Amino acid sequence: MMKPPKKPIRVYENFHIVLWLLKDFSWVFGFKILGLIMITPAVGMAVYITWLLRSNRSELFHNLAVCLWISGNSVWMIGEFFYQDRLRDPAKGFFIAGLLILLYYYLWVSPIWVKKKSQDSVLSGQYPGDVFSDDIKLDVDR
């Protein structure tokens, strides 16, 4: 089993944003080769972050949605680059799946209308240590 690193998860999340922006920059400016190359690290880092945070249900569902979103975004980019934008409909499937995962999370897993103590403390400004992802430390001695 792979042991997670000792870095705070925020380091990986921030680096993932850089990868995602490079992919989209390549798309917008028509750098086809760079755009194709950036799909793998952008999606790969999203999957890695999802794996690292899988024990937290909120993080798991949100990061699964991000993985699907970036995948749909990548399919759409490939369609525009090489298939006269004919892959937009398959890309929509990824976007819809990501939204459905979040809909399921907010309606059934953690209904937004049910009050929880951690939500009350966030609203009051008293934050428990595990509310924000930059406070999440990966425990390597589990």
Between 141 and 85, where is the model more confident?
Answer: 85
Comparing 65 with 127, the larger pLDDT belongs to 65
Contact 77, 23 (CB under 8 A): yes
Confirm whether 82 is domain-assigned: yes
Q: Does 142 fall in a domain?
A: no
pLDDT-derived band at 133, boundaries 50, 70, 90: very low
Confidence of residue 113 (pLDDT cuts 50, 70, 90): confident
Cross-strand pairs, 8: 137
Tell me the residue range of the domain where 68 lies: 9-124
CA distance 104 to 102: 5
Structural domains counted in the chain? 1
pLDDT of residue 120: 47
43 found inside a domain: yes
Residue matched to tokens 């699907």: 68
pLDDT per residue as tens digits for the range 67-89? 999 999 999 999 999 999 999 99
* Residue 141 domain flag: no
Query: Is 22 domain-assigned?
Result: yes
pLDDT band at 9 (very low <50, low <70, confident <90, very high): very high
pTM: 0.78
8 Å CB contact between 13 and 133:
yes
Rounded Cα distance, 21 and 27, in Å? 10
